[in-house]
Amino acid sequence: MIRSMSQNIRVRFAPSPTGPLHIGGVRTALYNFLFAQKHGGTCILRIEDTDQARYVPGAESYIIDALEWLGLIPDESVRNPGAYGPYRQSERTGIYSDHVMQLIRGGHAYYAFDTPEELDNMRAREMNRGIHSPKYDQHVRKSMKNSLTLDPAKVKQLLDNDTPFVVRMKVPEDRTISFSDVIRGEVRFHTSELDDKVILKADGFPTYHLANVVDDRLMRISHVIRGEEWLSSTAHHVLLYEGFGWLEAIPVFAHLPLILKPTGKGKLSKRDGAKFGFPVFPLDWYDKKEKTTYDGFREKGFLPEALLNFIALLGWNPGTDQEIFNRDELAEAFSLENINKSGAQFDFDKAKWFNQQYILQMNPKALGDFVKDDIENAYEIQIDPNKLLTIIELLQPRVEFVDEIVAKANIFFRKPEELDVKVLSKKYKSENYGHFLQIVDDLHNLSSWTTDAITASIKGLISSKTLKFGDILPPLRIWLTGEASGPDLFTIIQVLGREESIARLREGLLMTKNSKQDA
């Protein structure tokens, strides 16, 4: 739903730095970026930090770092300001107070001087009347202490005396407010359902509603793409646009469906990560209050492109069976109209599948560069580039996470601590002892140490003595790696090198032979 092709597409991702970016926030950001990219528009990052009570130090840089890791680089932001700054709302307070005054002068907002005690009394009164969740609304305001009920001289006096006040929106009586949402169609609210929201707090800071609307207008936002939890605030936002005389320029709204728990019941929360054993944040986050670290997708070994691909499909469907999309393909295929209305169930197995697909697609050399330091640190070695490449080629098809490569590479740098004796006792036959010795001997004398030569030597012996592969290869593998399955055995021998292979084989063979004799 693009209003006119000549209009500039400008979207924003507007997180509040009240904690780390949740996976739902990442999806909101991604959809904004994809939409901007598709239409040659601009995507800005605005930090909505006007709620001082909920401000969490470190959250802002976490959000920016997470977006950066994911390759979602805003065209305008606090780190890269454009022409519509500042991009942090706490630096725009002057702008908001001017706009609040404009609403007051136009009769769309009013001062309210009610004390906390008076507000409590009001709530008690309303509850007595059978109202379950009392609101400061068009009825209640008539009996409260505000600039609509007090005479102007009194209001002036209260203001001159620095009496604490808030400013509230004056919601008009008996009207239906409607707006269209690309995902949900026509949405309507009756003004009797709407409270007179505070727009300027006693501390002088605006609330989310005011700051959000003012900034969307001043930053020339054309489309507001955000989570479903904001749908019910939108009627208030429409009233603010009306109050400012900006209805002509009201953005197109698109409210995204929730991301649901794996069970499909209820919204995915930060605690679900620990409960179900998967991350819900892009990067690790240490919660100072709770003294707990929440796992990040990055630290779990996810590739950012794989995570984005997975997240893109949580709530949006391309209308085809295609699942693997790179960033440009996503932008090309993306449309707000193809976003589902209903919640999207989070499926961690699917996330892992995406990661595996992206690992498989990676150029082995690039994957090697990616894990080289980790392998060298883990095994305290310097690794030869050819050897690294061979190891990567062996392990790449066998992992879901990049760091599994580091763990699985241990067979090349550590003697097996334990042998799979269960399989070994089944597969090792004493009558083959001499053949095993012969295999070791042949390896010892092999003139060229290549995978082909090693393969030919071992396979040659098996067929010349009419032995069974299943009797010979499994014990060899277990002596070399400890395990009964794994990547190509002959390549493992080649990578281990002659000396190490022979040592492991001899040691394993001897141990197995002795334990058979003891038994």
> Of the ranges 8-16, 431-439, 442-450, 497-505, which one interacts with ligand GLU (CB under 6 A)?
8-16
Work out whether 390 is an interface residue with ligand GLU (CB under 6 A). Answer: no
Measured CA to CA, the distance from residue 184 to residue 337 in angstroms comes to 10
Indicate which residue of 270, 350, 429, 516 is catalytic: 270
Which segments within 191-302 are labelled E, that is strand? 198-200, 223-227, 252-256, 259-260, 285-287, 292-294
Listed residue (78, 64, 76, 34) closest to 283, CA to CA: 64
Among 99, 145, 226, 477, binds ligand GLU (CB under 6 A): 226
- Closest distance between ligand GLU and the C-beta of residue 56, in Å? 12
Among 212, 309, 457, 501, binds ligand GLU (CB under 6 A): 212
Work out whether 48 is an interface residue with ligand GLU (CB under 6 A). Answer: yes
340: left (phi over 0), alpha (psi -120 to 50) or beta: beta
Count the site residues for ligand GLU by CB under 6 A: 8
- Closest distance between ligand GLU and the C-beta of residue 274, in Å? 23
486: left (phi over 0), alpha (psi -120 to 50) or beta: left
> With respect to ligand GLU, which residue has the nearer C-beta, 104 or 254?
254
> Of the ranges 14-22, 182-190, 353-361, 368-376, which one interacts with ligand GLU (CB under 6 A)?
14-22
Work out whether 230 is an interface residue with ligand GLU (CB under 6 A). Answer: yes
- Closest distance between ligand GLU and the C-beta of residue 215, in Å? 9
Work out whether 15 is an interface residue with ligand GLU (CB under 6 A). Answer: yes
Work out whether 352 is an interface residue with ligand GLU (CB under 6 A). Answer: no
Work out whether 49 is an interface residue with ligand GLU (CB under 6 A). Answer: no
Q: Are 370 and 363 in contact (CB under 8 A)?
A: no
The number of helices, as runs of H, and strands, as runs of E, in the chain is 22, 13
Measured CA to CA, the distance from residue 492 to residue 486 in angstroms comes to 9
> With respect to ligand GLU, which residue has the nearer C-beta, 20 or 474?
20
Work out whether 246 is an interface residue with ligand GLU (CB under 6 A). Answer: no
Among 9, 10, 11, 14, binds ligand GLU (CB under 6 A): 14
Phi, psi of 264 (to 5 degrees): 85, -5
Work out whether 457 is an interface residue with ligand GLU (CB under 6 A). Answer: no
- Closest distance between ligand GLU and the C-beta of residue 76, in Å? 16
Work out whether 50 is an interface residue with ligand GLU (CB under 6 A). Answer: no
Q: Is 291 a catalytic residue?
A: no
CB neighbour burial string for 391-414, b if at least 16 within 10 angstroms, e if fewer:
bbbbbbeebbbbebbbebbbbbbe
List, in order, residues 6 or more apart from 341 with CB less than 8 Å away.
183, 184, 257
- Closest distance between ligand GLU and the C-beta of residue 297, in Å? 20
> With respect to ligand GLU, which residue has the nearer C-beta, 50 or 512?
50
- Closest distance between ligand GLU and the C-beta of residue 213, in Å? 9
3-state secondary structure at position 424: helix
Site mask for ligand GLU (CB under 6 A), range 182-211, x = bound: --------------------------x---
Measured CA to CA, the distance from residue 385 to residue 382 in angstroms comes to 9
- Quickly list DSSP for 127-157: HHTT-SS----TTGGGGSSBTTTS-HHHHHH
Q: ω into residue 86 within 30 of 0, thus cis?
A: yes
Work out whether 251 is an interface residue with ligand GLU (CB under 6 A). Answer: no
Q: Are 2 and 38 in contact (CB under 8 A)?
A: no
Contact residues: ligand GLU, CB under 6 A: 14-16, 48, 208, 212, 226, 230
List residues with catalytic annotation.
Answer: 270
